Every structure is written in C-alpha cells, then in structure tokens.
Amino acid sequence: MTDIAAGPRRLSSTETVRAGLGRRKRHQIMLQGLGLAAISFAFLMLATLVGSLVMTGHKAFTQTHITLDVYVDPAEIPAAGLPRGGFRDVMTAALAERIPGVESRAELRALGAILSNGAQFMLRDRIVADPSLIGQTITMRVPVSDPYDQLKKGLIDRETPEAFRRVKDQEIAWFDTLMAQGAITEPFNWALFRNADSRFPELAGLKGALIGSAWALLVCFLISFPLGIGAAIYLEEFAPKNRVSDLIEVNINNLAAVPSVVFGLLALAVFLGWFGMQRSAPFVGGLTLALMTMPTIIIATRAALKAVPPSIREAALGVGASRHQVVFGHVLPLAMPGILTGTIIGLAQALGETAPLLLIGMNAFITSAPSTPFDSATALPTQIFIWADSPERGFVSRTSAAILVLLTFLVVMNALAIFLRNRFERKW
Amino acid sequence: MTSLAFSLLFALAIAGYVWNLMAARSIRQSGARMHSLSGFHGMYSFLLAVVPVMVLILVWQVLKGPVIDRMVLGGLPPGTLDGVNAGAVQLILSEIKSLAGGRTFGTPEDWKIEAAERLVGLRQTAAYSLVGLVAVVAGGLVLFARLRVGAEFRARHRVERIVSGLMIFCASVAIFVTLGIAGSLMFETYRFFERVPLTEFLFGLNWEPQIPLREDQIAAEGAFGWIPVFLGTIVITVVALFIAIPVGLLSGIYLNEFAPRRMRAVAKPILEILAGVPTVVYGFFAILTVAPAIRSAGAALGIDIAPNTALAAGSVMGIMLIPFISSFADDALSAVPQALRDGALGLGATRAEMMTTVLFPAAIPGIVGGILLAVSRAIGETMIVVMAAGLIAKMTINPLDSVTTVTVQIVTLLIGDTSFDNPKTLAAFALGMMLFLVTLVINVFALRIVRKYREAYD
C-alpha cells in the first residue's frame, strides 16, 4: 500500500468561506433586525406619546353644558343693585325647577354645585348688558362643573363605592334625571380658545396663553431676524479671517448649545434684575427667546448664503456693483427662501421653549389676556406646565388638549418651512 | 408715549429719505455727474437719523425707571427713610407706584400721596421730554444730511459704512450674550459665596436650600452642598443614555446602511418629529404615561418604586435624545469615504462586517462627539425633570429612587421669588454657573472632536 495515509483533509478556501457563511449571514440579519427594532422602538414611543395625548386630550375639546330656563327674579336681582345680585341663587332655583323634591338648603347647595362657578357670572354679564331681562324667563346654556363633566365623559366610574367617588349617588341620580330631560348637551368647547386661565377646569382656556405666545414670538422675530441676518452676512461675506471672527464663530456655536435654563438665569439677572423690566411680560420673554433663536438663524442664514454660487457674485461685481450692492441686491434675495425656512424652524423651537419663561415669571396665574406685550401673561408651554401642575382632574385632559394645540402650531410652522423650501429652493 | 417717539422718529427719517432723494434727483437732472445714486443720498439721511436716535430712545428707556425712582425717593420729606433697610424702601416705592397707578389700599400717609403725585408728574415730564428730544435730534440729523447732498458727496460709501457698522454690531451681539451670561452668573455666584463658603458648596453632601424666616430660628440654616444634586443629574443622564445610545446608534446604523431608500425617506423625518417635540410635552408624557407604567410594572414584579423615580424622567429624556444620536451617527457614517466601504466589500466582507469592522470604527470620533453633545443636553435639560423628577436631594445612585437635578433646583428656587439677597435664590445662580461651565466644557470638547474628525477625511 503506497497510499498516503488519509490525514485530515485541508479545506479549500472556498469551503472555509462557505462553512462560515451561514454564521456571517445570521450576524448580518441580526444586526439588521436590531436596527429595525431600534427604529420601531422610536416610532412606537412617538406613537405612544401622540396616542396618549390624543386619548386624554380629545375629551377636553367638548364641554358638557346644561340648558336651563332661568326666571330672572326681580326679588333676587333688583335692577338698582346691578351689577350685584343673587345670581347664584337664581341659577340654582332654575336648576331646582327641573329636579322636583329638592328642598333643604344643603341639598340645594349640592344641586347648585352641578353648575360651573362661572354660570352665575354669565348670567350677570347678560343681565348687566340688558337690564330689561329682569323679570323675564330666559334660556341659558351654561357649562357644568368639572366633576359632572367627568361623569358625562365616563371618566368617573359609577361602580366605585360611593365613599371614594367625587359625586355621590344622589348627585348622579339628579344628573341622570337632567340627562333624561335632554337638558345636558356636549358641544365643542369654545371656552378652550375664548377664555383665559381659570381655577375651574370647565372655564379655563388658552386665550391668554395664545396671545402671550404670539406677542413673545413677534418680539422674538423682530429682534432675532435682523440681528441674525446681519451677523450672518457679516461673518459669511465681509468678515476678515482673523481671531476676532473666529472667536465670534466659536461663540455662536456654543450659544446654540447652552442649556435654555441658563438663558432664563441671564434674563432674570439682567433684564429683570438690572434693567428692572416688567416680570411675566411677553416682551421680556420674546427678548430672551430672541437670544436663543439668534444662533439658529445665523447658522441657517450662513448655510443659505453659502449655497448661492460664486458666479452670481462675480457677475454682479463684474458689471460694477460694490460688495454691498452684490450682497443686498443679489445674494441675499436668492438666499431668502433658505433664510426664511431656518427662521421658521427657529421660531418653532422658540414657541415650545419653557424653562427660560418660567424663570421670568410667565407661569403666573393670570385670568385675562394681555393687550400689549408689556402686560403680564403666560405662554402656551408655560400654560401647559401650570395645568400639568394643577390638582383638579379636569386639568389632565385640558393639559393634553393644550399640548395638542401647541403641537398643531408646530406642525403647521414646520410644514410651512418645508413648503417654502420645496417651492422656492433653487438647485444651481 | 414711547410709541409716539418711535413713530415720530420713523416719520422724520422717512421724510429725510424723500427729501434727500428729491434733492439728489434735482441735482442730477440739472446735468451734474453724481458720485452716488439718488437712493443712497436718501438712505444716508434715513440711517443717520434712525441709528443714533434709536440708541438714544433705548438708553432713555433703560435709565428712565431708576432715575425717576431715585428722584421720587430723594424728594420724600427728610427723615422718612432714616434707618429703613433696602427691602422696606422698595416696598414704599412700590406702594407709591401703585398709588400713582390709581390703586389705593387702605389709607396711605399724606407724604406717600404727595410722592405719588410727584411720580406721575415726573413720568409725564419724562415722556414729553423724550418726544421733544427725539424731534430735535432726529430733525437736526435729517437737516444735516440734507445739507450734505451734492454731486461730490460719497453717499454710497457713507451708507455702506453705516451698514457695515450695524452688521458688526449684530455679529458681536453673540459675544455680548456670552459675556452677559458669564458676567451675570459670576456676579450672583460671587454674592452667593460671600454668604456660603465655596468648600461647603463644592464638597458638601447635603442640599437643603432653606433660609431662616426669623433671625433667631434654629435648625433652618440650610445646607448648600451641590454633590447630591449633581449626583442626581448624573443618575438621570445615565438612565437617559442607557436608552438613547443603543437605540440611537442602531437606528442610525440601520438608516445609513440597511434601510431601503424609500423607508429612509420616511423614517428620517419621523425621527425628526421626536426631536421637535417641546420638552414640556415630554415632561407631561413622563407623568401621564411613563411613570404610572413603570410603577405598575414595578408593582407586578414586587419592587417598590418611588412615584417620581429617576427611571421615568431618565427614560423619557432618553427617548428625546434618540433622534439626536441617530442623526449624529448617520452623519458620521456618511462622512466615511466611499473607498473604505468599497474596499471592505471588495475583500468579501458582508455589509454587517463592513459596518462593524470598518465603518463604525472609522466613524467613532464623530459618534463620540455626538454622544457628548447629547450628554450636555441631558444635563441641561429642564422641563422633563422639573415635571417628572423629585425635589429632595438624596445621596443615591438607585434609579428607582427619586432624585433631583441641578436644573430642577434652579427652577424651584427661582419660581416666584425675585429678591436676590438671600442664599436661597443666589444658590440657583451658583448651580447655574456650574451647569454653564460643565456643559460649556463638554460642548467645546465635543465640537472640537467633531470638527477635527471631519477635517481628517476631507
């Protein structure tokens, strides 16, 4: 036998590769799977976030109302005594008309609690506006108070033992009677947009916050837009490359990353402390937000200016324009869509910014909308913060609703930015 | 009155513009060869009037309040303010102001009513003199600009110089802001360390920011050691990174290399949405959904979890940081030259092997830079922790426990309290100083890594 003993056969390299191929493919699939899982996790979280807000928030877009025939009793509300009068008693009496058998004062008080605290003031405003209503019977639709609103929306479990429930069995029976009479309706909650803040959830609205935010954004825009564009044009088109412009660049990049609460500290110490500006004023809020938005606008403007091809500049210079004329007559108009897109995105960020506004006191409890930027006001995000902090159950859904309003504004602003970019952006 | 001053200024400036424009045009029509276009003569007049008078009005507004206050206090009958401390003087002043605003509480003393009347008079005088001053100065400047109109006058050069000056001012605002932040923080922090020793703040293990209500009150001294607060910040940051780094990196890798183009086009904007959600919304999400979910999960497992556990705030913060890290990872991977990909694939590596052995190591500096920026964000993030984390500073690293953070303390110490003369409010500025310094160092470091790495391949 001259055969060479059959030792372990050496694998050819193709076979080595083939042997490992399954494992390597599994690795690839695993990495892909992990990546997919990661992205799905992020999407799931976004969906949970939006879903939980919509689930709790959509209920605040309607408000339970009760329709009553109110006899404006001249004995309770004498014309001479306006604007004072027993408006609450008149409203309660109108309610007692519908529920027979409520006699004792304690029962009447409990029955009256079905009505929102604002109901008496609605009656008062209506009668003060038209005193001839005294002595007549008028039909009024007023909001019910928070516990009954929750009851109507099914947020109070009727099965809970009475001791642990906010509305008692008797009160539920009254409410069901009113339901059966068709007095209870649940229309769109206009108060959410028409009213300013209130301690009572059923009366609280976002008007003050919306107007406060609008003022603050206007001030922010008026300050940060010119400053940002001026700074960006200088740095991009005119600044000599030296230490000073390097320093400014580093500064702008760092400012963009400074925590927002630090800007609040700056505003508190400098604007309120040293300059003695008004606390809680949207003007100061806008000023603070402008400082934070400016770096965003500068960075966006510089990118937009850079995207304008040099041939434009050279052509303009070639026909005798000065450098300023080149920039302001040709480069800047061409860069405008990019600048506006960056500005809108910056303003959208500013709209959602909360921490600096808290420090300058825009989280005060203010029950009227500001008429100038120097009046005390809240802003949309700080109003969300206030409501999130409120103990009343009704504010939970209202907070979610306010967040949905805020997110709607942000989506609209970002959509506008994307539209501008797609519509006017030029490819060179 | 201020708006009247502004409108007057702009009316005068626009009139100046038109006036100069007309003058320049008529010179041109008379056949002279002008150095500058007529419009520049007009702009010269406009800018010459607007810029200095605008500065004047702003300075006036800033100085008006304090000057009038001082004049009112100076005009009080001699002896009224003897031995009254600064806080009480402020109280008297605000009482006088509310009297002047027509809001009377109780029966004020006669000298207060008198002072209020003087305050009203002074305010009126100030308003009239501002309008007068604006009219005179702006009118004078417009007149001066008109006198300079001529064929030889280099209006364009003047205008461009003014505009350049304005732009340099705009660019330097960034420096002013940084200086303002550093200056105001340092000033208040210095006042804090006049009251609380530096060593106690830096090395103290107790954080109980209280101030004695009465002079002789015992056991309300307060303790200002920032270590437990900082520890809480670290705990929450670590929890956040535990979620954000793996999820962010893996989704960045997937989007960069494996995702079909159409999915990438959809997934990137959706991730951007997560980045655009305001933090106050995340805060509410934490208390509305995440914290109860964690608590009930804990109850199911038999673990006792604090109501405002660091886990809730941290994990929500982690969700917020996912898009941040994923887009940094995506950018860093895209910046790796195509040649490296081609080389790895050409040698027979699978795409996963190319990613883990070639692309990822090459992109690590950029990714680390992004992670560092995310860390600085997590440390400085305010609303999520204000709403979902605790208020009591504890020396613990247990994420199930409730911890507090630097930003929470800043906000809670300063909400509704503006007197800057006690260690409690000043402590917020000391914390703000530390926050600013820590994030600044991380940011500078991270930006340097990112930039250096980019240059290496370009």
Decide if pLDDT at A318 tops 90: yes
User: Two tokens at A50?
Assistant: 């939006």
Residue A287 confidence class, pLDDT cut points 50, 70, 90: very high
Q: Looking at the structure, tell me whether residues B236 and B365 fall in a common domain.
A: yes
Mean pLDDT of A30-34: 93
pLDDT digits (tens, 9 = 90+) for B426-451: 888 999 999 999 999 998 888 888 77
- Measured between CB atoms, does A102 come within 8 Å of chain B? no
Mean pLDDT for all residues in chain B: 87
DSSP string over B308-330: T-HHHHHHHHHHHHHHHHHHHHH
SS3 A65: strand
* Helical segments of B196-278, H only: 198-203, 227-253, 261-276
Mean pLDDT of A90-101: 84
Least confident of A282-291, A407-416, B16-25, B83-92: B83-92
Residues of B in contact with A399 (CB under 8 A): 284
Q: Looking at the structure, tell me whether residues B280 and B427 fall in a common domain.
A: yes
Of chain B residues 186-205, which have a CB less than 8 A from chain A?
A: 187-188
* DSSP strand pairing (B207-208 vs B223-224): antiparallel
Contact B296, B389 (CB under 8 A): no
- The closest alpha carbon to B247, from B286, B274, B287, B269, belongs to B274
Q: Looking at the structure, tell me whether residues B119 and B245 fall in a common domain.
A: no
Mean pLDDT of B19-24: 91
Beta carbons of B278 and A352 less than 8 Å apart: yes
Among chain A residues, CA nearest to B407: A261
Chosen domain end from B136, B164, B192: B164
Q: Smallest CA–CA separation between B114 and chain A, in Å?
A: 24
Size of interface A-B (CB pairs under 8 A): 271
CB within 8 Å of B142: residues ≥ 6 apart: B12, B13, B15, B16, B19, B45, B48, B49
pLDDT of residue A1: 47
Beta carbons of A396 and B288 less than 8 Å apart: yes
- The closest alpha carbon to A134, from A126, A142, A144, belongs to A126
Q: Looking at the structure, tell me whether residues B428 and B351 fall in a common domain.
A: yes
CA distance A79 to A276: 46
Q: Smallest CA–CA separation between B395 and chain A, in Å?
A: 24
Residues of A in contact with B386 (CB under 8 A): 355, 358, 385
Compare CB distances from B254 to A36, A272, A294 and report the shortest one's residue. Answer: A36
- Measured between CB atoms, does B438 come within 8 Å of chain A? no
pLDDT of residue B211: 64
- Measured between CB atoms, does B289 come within 8 Å of chain A? yes
> Distance of CA A72 to CAs A110, A134, A139, Å?
21, 5, 10
Q: Looking at the structure, tell me whether residues B157 and B257 fall in a common domain.
A: no
Mean pLDDT of A366-385: 90
* DSSP strand pairing (A65-71 vs A137-143): antiparallel
Amino acid identity of residue A248, one-letter, is I
> Distance of CA A240 to CAs A244, A245, A248, A370, B165, Å?
9, 7, 12, 46, 14
Q: Smallest CA–CA separation between B216 and chain A, in Å?
A: 29
Mean pLDDT for all residues in chain A: 88
Q: Smallest CA–CA separation between B77 and chain A, in Å?
A: 25
pLDDT of residue A402: 94
Q: Smallest CA–CA separation between A204 and chain B, in Å?
A: 18
- Measured between CB atoms, does B327 come within 8 Å of chain A? no
Beta carbons of A231 and B267 less than 8 Å apart: no
- The closest alpha carbon to A148, from A179, A103, A193, belongs to A179
Beta carbons of B174 and A231 less than 8 Å apart: yes
Compare CB distances from A38 to B173, B251, B414 and report the shortest one's residue. Answer: B251
Q: Looking at the structure, tell me whether residues B355 and B428 fall in a common domain.
A: yes
Most confidently modeled range among A251-255, A389-393, A395-399, B448-452? A395-399
Of chain B residues 84-123, which have a CB less than 8 A from chain A?
A: none
pLDDT digits (tens, 9 = 90+) for A113-126: 888 888 888 888 88
Residues of B in contact with A406 (CB under 8 A): 278, 281
Asked if residue B381 belongs to a domain, the reply is yes
Residues of A in contact with B282 (CB under 8 A): 49
Decide if pLDDT at A427 tops 80: no
pLDDT of residue A4: 55
Q: Looking at the structure, tell me whether residues B149 and B239 fall in a common domain.
A: no
Chosen domain end from B114, B136, B164: B164
Asked if residue B329 belongs to a domain, the reply is yes
CB within 8 Å of B136: residues ≥ 6 apart: none
Mean pLDDT of A59-72: 89
CA distance B345 to B423: 63
Asked if residue B193 belongs to a domain, the reply is no
pLDDT digits (tens, 9 = 90+) for A142-193: 999 988 888 888 888 888 888 788 888 888 888 888 888 888 888 898 888 9
Q: Smallest CA–CA separation between A331 and chain B, in Å?
A: 16
CA distance A373 to A11: 82
Beta carbons of A276 and B174 less than 8 Å apart: no
pLDDT of residue B186: 92
Asked if residue B312 belongs to a domain, the reply is yes
Q: Smallest CA–CA separation between A145 and chain B, in Å?
A: 23
pLDDT of residue A52: 93
Contact A246, A326 (CB under 8 A): no
Q: Looking at the structure, tell me whether residues B234 and B345 fall in a common domain.
A: yes
pLDDT of residue B455: 62
Among chain B residues, CA nearest to A413: B276
Beta carbons of A262 and B156 less than 8 Å apart: no
pLDDT digits (tens, 9 = 90+) for B391-418: 888 888 888 888 899 999 999 888 865 5
> Distance of CA A41 to CAs A407, B246, B322, Å?
21, 11, 10
Beta carbons of B353 and A27 less than 8 Å apart: yes
Of chain A residues 334-393, which have a CB less than 8 A from chain B?
A: 348-349, 351-355, 358-359, 361, 363, 381, 384-385, 388-389
- Measured between CB atoms, does B380 come within 8 Å of chain A? yes
pLDDT of residue B212: 56
Of chain B residues 14-73, which have a CB less than 8 A from chain A?
A: 62, 65-66
CA distance A273 to B415: 14
SS3 B223: strand
pLDDT digits (tens, 9 = 90+) for B151-170: 888 989 999 999 999 999 99
User: Two tokens at B84?
Assistant: 């009254």
Q: Looking at the structure, tell me whether residues B156 and B237 fall in a common domain.
A: no
Among chain A residues, CA nearest to B322: A42
- Measured between CB atoms, does B372 come within 8 Å of chain A? no
pLDDT of residue A357: 93
Decide if pLDDT at A390 tops 90: no
Mean pLDDT of A399-425: 90
Among chain A residues, CA nearest to B276: A349
pLDDT of residue B419: 65
Domains and CATH numbers, chain A: 65-187 (no CATH), 207-424 (1.10.3720.10)
Residues of B in contact with A34 (CB under 8 A): 250, 254
Of chain A residues 239-258, which have a CB less than 8 A from chain B?
A: 239, 245, 247-248, 250-255, 257-258
Beta carbons of B174 and A262 less than 8 Å apart: no
CA distance B317 to B236: 8
Mean pLDDT of B247-271: 91
Q: Looking at the structure, tell me whether residues B262 and B150 fall in a common domain.
A: no
Mean pLDDT of B75-85: 72
Least confident of A235-239, B19-23, B206-210, B230-234: B206-210
Q: Looking at the structure, tell me whether residues B138 and B248 fall in a common domain.
A: no
Give the residue numbers spanning the domain of B50: 2-164
- Measured between CB atoms, does B429 come within 8 Å of chain A? yes
Decide if pLDDT at B217 tops 70: no
Compare CB distances from A234 to B171, B356, B440 and report the shortest one's residue. Answer: B171
pLDDT digits (tens, 9 = 90+) for A215-255: 999 999 999 999 999 999 999 999 888 888 888 888 888 88
DSSP string over A147-172: HHHHHHTT-S-TTS-GGG-SS-HHHH
Asked if residue B146 belongs to a domain, the reply is yes
Q: Looking at the structure, tell me whether residues B135 and B242 fall in a common domain.
A: no
Residues of A in contact with B431 (CB under 8 A): none
Beta carbons of A259 and B251 less than 8 Å apart: no
Of chain B residues 138-177, which have a CB less than 8 A from chain A?
A: 156, 159-160, 163-164, 166-175, 177
- Domain tally for chain B? 2
pLDDT of residue A330: 93
Decide if pLDDT at A339 tops 90: yes
Asked if residue B195 belongs to a domain, the reply is no
Chosen domain end from B140, B164, B188: B164
Q: Which residue has the higher pLDDT, A100 or A295?
A: A295
Asked if residue B361 belongs to a domain, the reply is yes
Residue corresponding to tokens 């009930």: B296
Asked if residue B58 belongs to a domain, the reply is yes
